[in-house]
């Protein structure tokens, strides 16, 4: 770090301390800084843009009310992220809805060597194969149990560290690693099964 230049985390901590002391403008700056990132996270759960914005606002209100409980044991964004994901999930549960299918770009799902080969050609057959693979991955991820899906998503699509995921999910790092491994293994089995015309669950029942 350059002498005299605060890191992003140090800057957040300073703003939080000011907000905890009653400086509302400091919290406004945190909202401005993270509102787009938080909305992007919530939009993975809630597709309707107006509804997602309402939930994002609710998450910031909850964060503000709970600000005194923030002790800096994790990064502020990690703490805020956890509040946002819990708010989004609770919002869906309150309406008896499950998180909708996550529309991830196939280029981001760097799980299978097949996808790289499919991108080398641009034919109707290749385009169909790409779409089938995308749907299979999307379905496999969304079929994961909540804890596996959350850990997998935070690691593979948000790129968070195991430490940050452990803080968000409130569990040991070893548990995070186990959930991500099991998630990857289950996705791999389910995608292979779906592309071959059957689900892994159906196979298990036979």
The secondary element (H helix, E strand) that includes residue 10 is: helix 8-20
DSSP code of residue 98? P
113 and 84 belong to one structural domain: no
pTM exceeding 0.95: no
Residue 2 within a domain: no
Residues 85, 44, 74, 144, Cα dihedral to 10°: 80
Backbone dihedral region of 2: left (phi > 0), alpha (psi from -120 to 50 degrees) or beta?
Answer: beta
CATH of the domain at 148: 1.10.10.10
Residue 99 within a domain: no
pLDDT at 97: 54
183 and 111 belong to one structural domain: yes
61 and 145 belong to one structural domain: no
CA distance 61 to 71: 18
Q: Which of 62, 94, 126 is the last residue of a domain?
A: 94
pLDDT at 123: 61
61 and 118 belong to one structural domain: no
130 and 201 belong to one structural domain: yes
201 and 110 belong to one structural domain: yes
Grouped pLDDT means (10 residues each) for the chain, 206 residues? 57 89 87 87 84 90 90 86 88 67 36 40 59 74 85 79 86 89 83 62 43
Domain count, the chain: 2
Q: Which of 94, 122, 153 is the last residue of a domain?
A: 94
CA distance 112 to 130: 12
pLDDT at 138: 76
* CB distance 73 to 106 below 8 Å: no
pLDDT at 118: 41
* CB distance 137 to 111 below 8 Å: yes
CA distance 19 to 35: 17
Residue 59's contacts (CB-CB under 8 Å, 6 or more residues apart) are 38, 42, 80, 83, 84, 87, 88
Residue 113 within a domain: yes
Residue 169 within a domain: yes
Site of tokens 């548990």: 175
Range of the domain at 51: 8-94
CATH of the domain at 57: 1.10.1740.10
Write the CA distances from 49 to 35, 43, 44, 115, integer angstroms.
13, 7, 11, 30
């Amino acid at each position: 770090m350059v002498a005299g230049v605060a890191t992003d985390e140090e800057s957040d901590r300073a703003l939080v301390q000011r907000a905890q002391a009653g400086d509302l403008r400091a919290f406004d700056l945190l909202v401005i800084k993270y509102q787009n990132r938080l909305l992007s996270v919530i939009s993975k759960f809630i597709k309707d843009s107006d509804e997602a914005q309402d939930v994002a606002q609710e998450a910031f209100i909850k964060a503000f009310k709970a600000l005194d409980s923030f002790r800096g044991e994790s990064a502020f964004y990690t703490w805020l992220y956890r509040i946002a994901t819990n708010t989004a999930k609770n919002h869906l549960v309150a309406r008896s809805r499950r998180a909708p299918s996550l529309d991830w770009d196939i280029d981001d799902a760097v799980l299978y060597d097949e996808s790289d080969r499919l991108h080398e050609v641009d034919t109707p057959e290749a385009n169909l194969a790409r779409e089938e693979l995308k749907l299979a991955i999307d379905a496999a991820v969304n079929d994961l149990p909540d804890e596996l899906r959350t850990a997998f998503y935070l690691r593979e699509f948000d790129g968070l560290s195991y430490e940050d995921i452990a803080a968000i999910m409130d569990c040991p790092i070893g548990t995070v690693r186990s959930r991500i491994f099991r998630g990857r293994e289950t996705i791999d089995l389910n995608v292979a099964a779906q592309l071959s015309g059957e689900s892994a669950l159906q196979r298990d029942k036979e």
